[in-house]
């Protein structure tokens, strides 16, 4: 079982005698309540177990749906930041931290982003990705130090990820980012009323009690993964990384992606496999430029100028040619 350590309310207790307060805060969290629908799961057979888990997972999407306006605001915040040279930086602990690192790692091959543009930080550093280091999340100073080391400054956005909403590492990162005048987002799976932290945007997806009490690697993690997918994918769409519903700015870092790029050019422009391969070579592996070349039969230089003039949007560039 993995769950984030709670952030103590400032001024209530000192470091030596905080255990009772920590216990009291823990027992009030929605994700720490017992789930009435899974009380008999320890007696269930495999089929019953997976049906119980699936039934609870099915509720997650509905919970996320209640926060779509806030997620849309996050999409626009990230789009504006990246367009102005900023970064999206995730800070989390345990499962939440791993989800941030995962989302950040997937953006370069999918959308052709600079690896430094979207980054994930996890309490305890890289080693914590593979082996739990629970104590690393217990100090706000650890989060603040990681923000300092990352040289965070506007227009960077710091997005904290904490199922409990109270992880000290995450609080420290967000507070330090705020001191540096950066915009902040918190993604949590408890109601906002259970979170004692000021942020520019709160995305509180209240998933309710977990299948196994306190195991936030389950419904809470699923909700956070959904939210992060929406934020980065939405921002990339708004930055012109997608044509129709196809990713057209992918990086050709392996054979699968090279073949996918050829297929994209082929079915969007009716070019043959050989023609698609040749165009990709002429475009130096830049899929968006190659697709523009295939759709217009213009040379690489002209297509690059058209895309640059239209902020990287293929559809806008094509409309300009037709007007």
The span from the CA of 269 to the CA of 265, in Å, is 6
56 flagged as catalytic? no
137 flagged as catalytic? yes
Residue of 184, 189, 165, 215 lying closest to 81 (CA atoms): 184
Active-site annotation holder among 137, 140, 176, 210: 137
The span from the CA of 105 to the CA of 207, in Å, is 26
C-alpha distance from residue 133 to each of 43, 68, 104, 105 (Å): 32, 33, 21, 21
The span from the CA of 160 to the CA of 254, in Å, is 32
Residue 204 phi, psi dihedral angles, 5° rounding: -105, 100
C-alpha distance from residue 74 to each of 119, 158, 230, 232, 275 (Å): 16, 11, 9, 9, 40
Residue of 210, 143, 164 lying closest to 7 (CA atoms): 164
C-alpha distance from residue 78 to each of 92, 111, 155, 184 (Å): 18, 14, 10, 10
Q: CB–CB of 103/186 below 8 Å?
A: no
Q: Annotated catalytic sites, by residue?
A: 106, 137
């Amino acid at each position: 079982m993995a769950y984030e350590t709670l952030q103590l309310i400032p001024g209530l207790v000192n470091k030596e005698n905080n255990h009772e307060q920590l216990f009291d805060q823990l027992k009030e969290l929605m994700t720490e309540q017992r789930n009435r629908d899974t009380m008999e799961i320890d007696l269930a057979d495999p089929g019953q177990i997976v049906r119980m888990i699936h039934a609870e997972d099915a509720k997650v999407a509905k919970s996320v749906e209640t926060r779509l306006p806030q997620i849309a605001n996050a999409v626009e915040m990230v789009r504006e930041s990246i367009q102005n040279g900023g970064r999206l930086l995730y800070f989390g602990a345990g499962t939440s931290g791993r989800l941030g690192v995962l989302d950040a790692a997937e953006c370069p091959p999918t959308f052709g982003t600079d690896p430094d543009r979207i980054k994930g930080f996890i309490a305890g550093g890289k080693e914590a990705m593979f082996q739990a280091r629970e104590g690393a999340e217990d100090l706000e100073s650890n989060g603040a130090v990681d923000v300092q080391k990352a040289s965070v400054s506007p227009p960077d956005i710091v997005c904290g990820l904490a199922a409990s909403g109270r992880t000290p590492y995450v609080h420290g990162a967000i507070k330090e980012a705020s001191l540096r005048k950066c915009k902040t987002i918190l993604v949590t799976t408890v109601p906002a009323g259970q979170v004692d932290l000021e942020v520019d945007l709160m995305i509180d997806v209240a998933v309710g009690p977990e299948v196994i009490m306190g195991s936030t690697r389950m419904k809470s993690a699923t909700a956070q993964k959904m939210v992060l997918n929406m934020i980065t994918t939405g921002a990339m769409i708004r930055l012109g990384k997608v044509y129709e519903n196809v990713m057209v700015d992918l990086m050709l870092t392996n054979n699968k992606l090279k073949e996918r790029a050829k297929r994209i050019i082929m079915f969007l422009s009716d070019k043959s496999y050989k023609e698609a391969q040749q165009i990709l070579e002429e475009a130096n592996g830049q899929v968006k430029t190659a697709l523009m070349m295939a759709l217009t039969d213009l040379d690489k230089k002209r297509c690059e100028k058209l895309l640059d003039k239209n902020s990287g949007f293929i559809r806008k560039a094509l409309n300009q040619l037709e007007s």
